[in-house]
Amino acid sequence: MPESAAFRDDRAHVFHSWSAQRALAPAVVAGGEGAWFWDEAGRRYLDFSSQLVNLNLGHQHPTVVRAIQEQAATLCTVAPTFANPARSEAARLIAEIAPGDLRHVFFTNGGTEANEHAVRMARHTTGRHKILAAYRSYHGATTGSITLTGDPRRWPNEPAMPGVVRFFGPYAYRSAFHASSEEQEGERALAHLEEVFTLEGAHTIAAVILEPVVGTNGILVPPDGYLRGVRELCDRHGVLLIADEVMSGFGRCGEWFAVDRWGVVPDLITFAKGVNSGYVPLGGVVLGPRVYETFAQAPYPGGLTYSGHPLACAAAVAAITVMRDEQVNATVRRLGEEVVRPRLAKLQERHPSVGEVRGLGLFWAIELVRDRDTREMLVPYNASGAAAAPMAEVAAACKERGLWPFTHFNRVHVVPPCVTSAEDLALGLDILDDALDAADRYYT
Ligand code: PLP
């Protein structure tokens, strides 16, 4: 097929995220419906990426599309100083589903801004400056959030925000603590965090920020008791807990928020993506009383022109309502346990290169290795170019068979829309099964 105008203009003028620009050849996406999308040549793909783990309700959900159209016909924008029905209702719905006593919402345009503001709120509230952030985390690409980020995307952007101190979260498969069980990993990770508090001086720490279930860095589900332990540790020292639920929230884990699974109530929750399935950019911070009261009399020194944008909020109202009425969380839990977990276990039996499978809800990782005993990664940490070829081959094998995968370093993440049918899930996992032969060829 000859190059289309869309492709030519893209290559001539669009500067893409995170990429060397010259060699890019992005697929030109023409449309989508539910768990599927198609390119301009009509080639259809089952979307096992949810467009950066964003599109929880799938492509073109009619209720959300209609809500945006109706809001656009009524009022496209209004400054954040005003009240507006879409914004008010979105805030109320989010407050209703938020855990514990988190009742107020500060809206942003996405996840990274939410984390920037959460950090500022925490610093103002406590009068302290240090923020503890985990290795193997992603918190966004603006200056503060990229500093919080505990993966290689931070390196070329350093130095950035001062006051960020790093700690290890639990990751039993590659334990930093030489733990031999999930339980021990959780206990040792907590003891380690407590030691970081001591060595840094707990009275200098404003907040701990963490992804309750780590997303891009490996779908790391914490051992039971870990998050509760972090909460208690923070409480003992007057430190705020910020849960970054940008990826894990709004159905991805089969809960409104991942923390709900362990009954933990953070001081601040940051969200984006699934709040309206990314149909219009929206994120935000949900505030608990301690932070809210700090700004009840004194002004909060921060804001955004687009905070609580009516189109984005109308989409959020529709998306949350659909999720609630159609009980999407329960469906995600069932699909995760009844379809994904057993089939991934089979993949692990069949493919020597599958070192570990882990996850919950529709949030899973397949970790690929060259050797199960040594756990040598199929491609090295932060591999690119020729070093990343085995993963590129797995991704290409998926795409040839009509599956759009999400790959990161030595992992394939299984993160389809929350509305994917059991049949499509099974189809996608069958395709993955075939595609993983490409990884097995590198097994030593
Ligand atoms: N936090 C987490 C956990 C994320 O996964 C992401 C994006 O993937 C972000 C923050 C940044 O969100 P955004 O890209 O909307 O700025």
- Per-residue pLDDT tens digits for 357-370: 999 999 999 999 99
139 in contact with ligand 1, CB cutoff 6 A: yes
Residue with tokens 């940008």: 246
Return the number of other C-beta atoms located less than 10 Å from residue 433's C-beta.
15
* Residue nearest atom 1 in ligand 1 by C-alpha distance: 139
Q: What is the pLDDT of residues 115-157, one digit of tens each?
A: 999 999 999 999 999 999 999 999 999 999 999 999 999 999 9
Give percent of the chain above pLDDT 70: 100
- Please identify, by atom number, the ligand 1 atom nearest to the C-alpha of residue 216: 5
* Residue nearest atom 13 in ligand 1 by C-alpha distance: 111
110 in contact with ligand 1, CB cutoff 6 A: yes
- Please identify, by atom number, the ligand 1 atom nearest to the C-alpha of residue 248: 3
**Above 90 in pLDDT, residue 340?**
yes
Question: What is the reported pTM?
Answer: 0.98
ipTM computed for the complex: 0.99
Would you state the pLDDT for residue 348?
98
Q: What is the pLDDT of residues 242-300, one digit of tens each?
A: 999 999 999 999 999 999 999 999 999 999 999 999 999 999 999 999 999 999 999 99
Would you state the pLDDT for residue 186?
98
Q: Are 269 and 241 within 8 A, CB to CB?
A: no
- Give distance in angstroms: CA of 246 to centre of ligand 1: 6
Q: What is the mean pLDDT of residues 404-424?
A: 98
363 in contact with ligand 1, CB cutoff 6 A: no
Strands 240-244 and 268-271: parallel
Mean pLDDT of the chain: 97
- Give distance in angstroms: CA of 125 to centre of ligand 1: 24
Would you state the pLDDT for residue 67?
98
Two structure tokens written together for 356 = 């570990």
Q: Are 434 and 400 within 8 A, CB to CB?
A: no
Helix locations, 258-340, DSSP H = 289-297, 310-325, 328-335
215 in contact with ligand 1, CB cutoff 6 A: yes
Q: In what order do the strands lie in the sheet with 406-408?
A: 354-360, 363-368, 411-414, 406-408
**Above 80 in pLDDT, residue 2?**
no
Would you state the pLDDT for residue 364?
98
Q: What is the mean pLDDT of residues 210-239?
A: 98
**Above 90 in pLDDT, residue 166?**
yes
- Give distance in angstroms: CA of 138 to centre of ligand 1: 7
Q: Alpha-carbon dihedral of residues 169, 294, 272, 189, nearest 10 degrees?
A: 10
User: Which of 113, 145, 157, 273 to probe ligand 1 with, by most ligand atoms within 8 A of CB?
Assistant: 273
Would you state the pLDDT for residue 12?
97
211 in contact with ligand 1, CB cutoff 6 A: yes
Would you state the pLDDT for residue 179?
97
**Above 80 in pLDDT, residue 187?**
yes
**Above 80 in pLDDT, residue 1?**
no
51 in contact with ligand 1, CB cutoff 6 A: no
**Above 90 in pLDDT, residue 68?**
yes
Residue whose C-alpha is closest to residue 283's, from 49, 115, 139: 115
* Residue nearest atom 7 in ligand 1 by C-alpha distance: 140
Q: What is the pLDDT of residues 302-319, one digit of tens each?
A: 999 999 999 999 999 999
Least confident of 182-186, 304-308, 385-389, 391-395: 385-389
* Residue nearest atom 5 in ligand 1 by C-alpha distance: 247
217-256 burial by CB neighbour count: b if 16+ within 10 A, else e? bbbbbbbeebbbbbbebbeebebbbbbbbbbbbbbbbbbb
Would you state the pLDDT for residue 128?
98
Would you state the pLDDT for residue 112?
98
Distance from C-alpha of 172 to C-alpha of 186, rounded to nearest angstrom: 8
* Residue nearest atom 10 in ligand 1 by C-alpha distance: 139
- Please identify, by atom number, the ligand 1 atom nearest to the C-alpha of residue 53: 8
